[in-house]
Amino acid sequence: MATLTAQRKKQRNLIALTGVVVIVSLGVLYFGAFKQPKKEQVVVDSEINIFKKIREIKIDLSLLGEERFRGLVPYSKLPTDIETGRSNPFAPYGAKTE
Domain ranges of the chain: 1-46
Strand, helix or coil at 95?
coil
User: What string of DSSP letters covers 15-81?
Assistant: HHHHHHHHHHHHHHIIIIII-PPPHHHHHHHHHHHHHHH--------GGGGSHHHHT---SSPPP--
Judge whether 63 and 69 are in contact, CB under 8 Å.
yes
The per-residue pLDDT for 14 is 93
Spatial CB neighbours of 84, under 8 Å, sequence gap ≥ 6: none
Q: Which residues contact 88 (CB under 8 A, 6 or more apart)?
A: 97
pLDDT exceeds 70 at position 88: yes
Phi, psi torsion values for 23, nearest 5 degrees: -65, -45
pTM of the model: 0.34
The mean of the pLDDT values for the chain is: 79
* pLDDT tens figures, 4-34: 788 888 999 999 999 999 999 998 888 877 6
